Amino acid sequence: MKKIIIPVDFSQHSEYALETGAMLAKQHNAELIVMHMLELSESIFSTSGAEKSEETAFMLMVTNKEFEKFLDKSYLEDITVTPVIKHHKVLKEVSEIASHEKADLIVMGSRGHSDHDGVFTGSNTEKVVRYSDTPVLVVKSKPDSINFNNVVLGCDFSDESVSAVKNALETLNKLADKVTLLHVNLPNLSFLSTDEINEKVEEFLKLSKLNTKNVNIAYTADHMVEDGVLNYAKRESADAVSIITHGRTGLSHFFGGSISEDLVNHSKLPVITFKL
């Protein structure tokens, strides 16, 4: 892990992300690219060129001072930190910068849907997750540690998901001592018997050729995938949950409807997302 992107809006939740990123940077000797998106007022776009340039320059000066203050943290000592200011609040630019920099991870703070102010509300976090080809770690609180004992990764054990699961495990194995691949057995048409699940898992492991040394396979039954993942994680005292998305089209077929967004918004645990 060499480069980590941290989008910030100078809020408490983005400071949670910054501190989490700092812990990861120290552990992996990585560079932090801290990114702020300047939300220019609509009035700027209706003024003349000279006035527009003057107001933009003033806002940049104010933002640079705020940025400098925000980055004045003792936990950033001995870490290479590169601040980046973008002039517009275009959330897909987070993904574009991550791709351009060949970043290994994006770390974001999120309030979920309980609040509606600031840049990184739940809905905006969803947009970054949806656009990003880079794994995204979403944190909701001040980190105690980034050494996760157990991360639960929702998995449907389909052939289509083999590549995504293998890529996810490459990252998760750097963060966690153990990863649990969890299948949520749903009622009605989605229901599988124990024998059917075992057969599906066996075929998946044969096809993927996974090294299962630090990987646990588990099943749970619930009415919804989101409930199954979160309830299992709570029962097993997991440190984080992880999901695989279809990117702009929304979601993995396993995480149908709004399940992945719901996990990002409602999980109190850190959430790590990967694109299928």
Could you tell me the pLDDT band of residue 211, with boundaries at 50, 70 and 90?
confident
Check residue 40 and give its pLDDT: 54
80 CB-near residues (< 8 Å, 6+ apart): 25, 31, 32
Q: Does one domain contain both 154 and 117?
A: no
Please determine, for residue 166, whether its predicted confidence score (pLDDT) is greater than 50: yes
Average pLDDT over residues 79-108: 88
Q: What is the H or E stretch that residue 177 is in?
A: strand 176-185
Q: Does one domain contain both 29 and 125?
A: yes
Last residue of a domain, one of 91, 112, 139: 139
Q: Does one domain contain both 19 and 66?
A: yes
Q: Does one domain contain both 198 and 101?
A: no
Q: Does residue 187 contact residue 159 with C-beta atoms inside 8 Å?
A: no
* pTM metric for this prediction: 0.86
Average pLDDT over residues 125-132: 79
Could you tell me the pLDDT band of residue 79, with boundaries at 50, 70 and 90?
very high
Q: Does one domain contain both 126 and 15?
A: yes
Q: Does one domain contain both 60 and 14?
A: yes
How far from chain centre, in Å, is Cα 94?
Answer: 12
Q: Does one domain contain both 117 and 162?
A: no
CA distances, 42 to each of 46, 52, 116, 243 (Å)? 7, 11, 20, 37
Please determine, for residue 21, whether its predicted confidence score (pLDDT) is greater than 80: yes
Q: Which domain CATH number covers 89? A: 3.40.50.620
Higher pLDDT among residues 181 and 212, named by residue: 181
Check residue 157 and give its pLDDT: 92
Last residue of a domain, one of 87, 117, 139: 139
Q: Does one domain contain both 158 and 135?
A: no
Q: Does one domain contain both 125 and 191?
A: no
Q: Long-range contacts: 74-82, Cβ < 8 Å, 24+?
A: 75/19, 75/22, 75/23, 76/18, 76/22, 76/32, 78/26, 79/22, 79/25, 79/26, 79/31, 79/32, 80/25, 80/31, 80/32, 81/31, 81/32, 81/34, 82/31, 82/32, 82/33, 82/34
CA distances, 28 to each of 5, 25, 133, 140, 144 (Å)? 14, 5, 21, 22, 17
Closest CA to 44 of 60, 31, 21: 60
Check residue 120 and give its pLDDT: 54
Number of domains in the chain: 2
Report the range of poorest mean pLDDT among 20-24, 62-66, 69-73, 152-156: 62-66
Average pLDDT over residues 35-39: 81
Range of the domain at 197: 148-275
Average pLDDT over residues 26-35: 95
Check residue 27 and give its pLDDT: 93
269 CB-near residues (< 8 Å, 6+ apart): 140, 233, 238, 239, 240, 241
Average pLDDT over residues 77-100: 86
Q: Does one domain contain both 185 and 105?
A: no
Q: Does one domain contain both 133 and 156?
A: no
Q: Does one domain contain both 108 and 24?
A: yes
